[in-house]
Structure 1
Amino acid sequence: MQNASLKDYLHLHLIVFIWGFTAVLGALISIGAIELVWYRMGLASVAIFAYLRIKKIPLKTTPKALAVMLGAGVLIALHWLTFFGAIKMANVSITLAMMSIGAFFTSILEPLFYRRKVIGYEIIFGILVILGLYLIFNVETRYTAGILVALLSALLAAFFTLINGKLVKKHNAVKISFFEMLSGAGSITVFLALTSRFDSGFFSLQASDWWYLGILALVCTAYAFIASVTVMRNLSPYTVMLTTNLEPVYGIILAFLILGDSERMSTDFYFGAILILITVILNGIFKNRQRRKQQRLLNANESQVSV
């Protein structure tokens, strides 16, 4: 950890709180998932572009990196389409409970991306996640379609997280975000144009929808992303990971307070969601210990070589 302060910790919690509020906004906005994501990514790309200009961050990049960023943007668009689609099909609580599995999907896919062996405890955690899913599926059968769509959204999130994990090592994170938002909005624009969805009604939204979309695109997307990049400079990845796992907790509480009884779930649902969340957190703790052990071994080997 670097120069972390109480302000940094509080700022991180604010960001995670904002991310949790994203799902509630998705439920409050009356338009469909496709239109919602188009507005979100389009407005966010404009806001991030303005930030890049103000900070004088160059957009120049290699053709190969640009292609990867644009491809990741399409994945993000599909992730948000399924995310908000799941909210419309089920509710906020169901969707966020499923989204918490995204971090676990990422750890399962890591061996494929980074060509390493599967670790024993990952199999055990996988069984616990399946048990948590069973509890949720078993009692919330009316939301089966929404649960499946939310799981697909979590899987898509795992894929683009791994892609961004490689991109951010060589490229500016805000620049990556701009190209991804632009690509996502562009791909949806092509789809809407081909299906003749652009008409006068497309831009005739309720006043409340414009407000909610503004908050979603500018605060929950552009600001939250840029702020998260800033705060991560002073906090360890482990701290960020553990705090980020509070997103579904914040979101489910906010959904219940704002949306009321439509978010009230069965006791087994909460047991299943808590089991999944605890598993994800334990997985992060084990991963962090493993990385520290590997770093100590690396440092010890370097010391021996230097001697």
Structure 2
Amino acid sequence: MPNAKLKHYLHLHFLVVIAGFTAILGELITIGALELVWYRMAMAGILMFIYIKVVRINIKITSKTFWQFSAAGIIIALHWITFFEAINQANVSIALAMFSSGAFFASFIEPIFFKRRILGYEIIFGIIVILGVVLITSSEMGYINGIILGLFSALFSTLFAVINGLFIEKHSATVISFYEFVSGVLFLTVFILLTGKSFNAEFFTLSTSDWIYLFILASICTAYAFIGSVEVMRYISPFTVILSYNLEPVYGIAIALMLFPETEKMSPQFYLGAILVLGTVLFDAVFKNYQRRRRKTNSINT
């Protein structure tokens, strides 16, 4: 039914807006990026465990699989740390613009993991993305630390997504995510202790607003958003879902401009670079879908 289809499309874009709002919460939460990610993964892991128990999902895995999930959990922890620290070192707009460069990294990382050749048009798109990043960097040299952290965040995010693409062929998405959250918390706990910090009363003494923002981040922007994105794929094609999530930086930057106009207003050169990056990412997704459909049509005709 058309109305039912519209409902699922609206739900999808609501999830994308939630993803973009994650960066806003990173700006609002006052604790450091390391502590923020520890809380996010710990709280999301607990909520995910409750969900697993309610729907009675079997989470038994082999020790080999556990260590594989653990490696991915460490990568996603590093992605979130560099992402939120990029916001601290620069602002939301810089962090999200750099996050868009993940498609460029994917064009080189995917062929390695999935053992396919690098496509010529991916190299061209990659060059355009580099030009966009150069425009942003040259116009915002005062945010160079945030730009570098944002690029590392995009790299870790892409690596994590590609690895999960391999996991999802054999395992439930919920089980994968749960173990990644748990392993991420364990990794961060050890790291925090090795840096000389401790989980004392001060560590758990947060302002009321921080607790509220962290709960929203862990529940709505992490646990719910993940479950919702999996559920919506039952009704909407994976391509449409992926294409829509490429709009995350657009929504995030727009929200940031409305909420923090004094710190988020950037130079015209920044927006030109951001448009180059985002436009290339969207065009890449559309072009790949066109190529896939053409191959499918040719195989039917032959």
What's the TM-score once normalised by structure 1's chain length?
Answer: 0.94
Q: Deviations over 1:163-184 (max 9, x none)?
A: 0001111111011110001111
Asked if the contact 1:4/1:234 (under 8 Å) is kept, the reply is no
- 2:61 is the alignment partner of 1:70: no
Structure 1 residue aligned with 2:294: 293
Tell me the distance in 2 between the aligned counterparts of 1:258 and 1:191: 34
Give a deviation string over 1:26-63, Cα, whole Å, max 9, x none.
Answer: 01000000000000000000000100000000001233
**Which SS does the other structure have where 1:70 is aligned?**
helix
Q: After TM superposition, give the deviation of residue 197 of structure 1 in Å.
A: 3.0
SS at match of 2:203: helix
1: CA distance between counterparts of 2:97 and 2:291?
27
Partner Cα separation in structure 2 for residue 27 and residue 202 of structure 1: 19
Matches within 5 A, 1:33-44: 33-44=33-44
Residue aligning to 2:234? 233
Cα distance, 1:169–1:299 mapped onto 2, change above 3 Å: farther
Answering whether residue 121 of structure 2 is matched by residue 103 of structure 1, we say no
Residues 129 and 277 of structure 2 are in contact (CA less than 8 Å); yes or no, is this contact kept in structure 1? yes
Q: 1:140 offset after TM fit, Å?
A: 0.2
Q: Which residue of 2 aligns with 1:284?
A: 285
1:122 aligns with 2:110: no
Aligned to 1:186: 186
Q: Give identity over the alignment, percent.
A: 54
Deviation of residue 245 (structure 1)? 1.1
How far is the alpha carbon of 1:259 from its aligned partner?
A: 1.9
8 A contact 2:27–2:88 mirrored in 1: yes
Q: Against the structure 1 CA distance between its residues 281 and 25, is the aligned structure 2 distance closer, same or farther, given a 3 Å change threshold?
A: same
- Match of residue 211 from structure 1: 212
Q: Distance in 1 between matches of 2:113 and 2:176?
A: 19
Cα distance, 1:65 vs structure 2: 2.1
Matched AA of 2:197 = S
State whether residues 4 and 235 of structure 1, in contact with CA within 8 Å, keep that contact through their aligned partners in structure 2: no
Partner of 2:12: 12
Q: Distance in 2 between matches of 1:300 and 1:75?
A: 43
The whole-number CA distance in structure 1 between the counterparts of 2:225 and 2:61 is 24
Opposite residue 212 of structure 2, the aligned amino acid is W
The residue aligned with 1:134 is 134
Counterpart for residue 79 of structure 1: 79
Please list every run of 5 or more consecutive structure 2 residues that lacks an aligned counterpart in the other structure: none
What is the root-mean-square deviation of aligned Cα atoms in Å? Answer: 1.5
Question: In terms of mean alpha carbon deviation, does 240-249 or 16-25 score higher?
Answer: 240-249
Q: Secondary structure at the match of 2:202?
A: helix
Structure 2 counterpart of 1:172: 172
Q: Does 1:148 align with 2:145?
A: no
State the Cα distance separating 1:278 from its structure 2 match: 0.5
Structure 1: which 5+ runs fail to align? 302-307
**TM-score scaled by structure 2?**
0.96
* Structure 2 Cα separation of the partners of residues 278 and 62 of structure 1: 42
Aligned to 1:305: none
- Bigger mean CA deviation after superposition, 76-85 or 291-300: 291-300
For residues 128-155 of structure 1, what are the alpha-carbon distances to aligned partners after superposition, in whole Å with 9 as ceiling and x for unaligned?
1111011101110000111001000000
Report the Cα offset of residue 295 of structure 1: 3.5
Shift of 1:299: 5.0
**One-letter amino acid of the counterpart of residue 159, structure 2:** F
Q: CA deviation at 1:292?
A: 2.5
Measure, in 2, the Cα distance between the counterparts of 1:158 and 1:36: 21
